[in-house]
Amino acid sequence: MKYSMREMSPREISALQVGKTMDSVLPITFPSGFVLTGFTAHCAQCAREFEGSELRADHQWLNGSTLSIVAVANCSECDVVTVTNRRIKSDEGGTRVEFYQQNGEWASVPFVDKKKKKGVLAWLKAIWKK
What residues line the site for Zn ion (CB under 5 A)? 43, 45-46, 75, 77-78
Q: How far is the CB of 76 from Zn ion (least distance, A)?
A: 8
Calpha distance 123→20 (Å, rounded): 35
Calpha distance 67→30 (Å, rounded): 8
Q: Quick one: 68 or 85, whose CB is closer to Zn ion? A: 85
Q: How far is the CB of 47 from Zn ion (least distance, A)?
A: 7
- Closest Cα to residue 4, out of 74, 82, 57, 56? 82
Q: Quick one: 77 or 92, whose CB is closer to Zn ion? A: 77
Calpha distance 128→130 (Å, rounded): 6
SS3 78: coil
Q: How far is the CB of 38 from Zn ion (least distance, A)?
A: 20
Q: Quick one: 34 or 39, whose CB is closer to Zn ion? A: 39
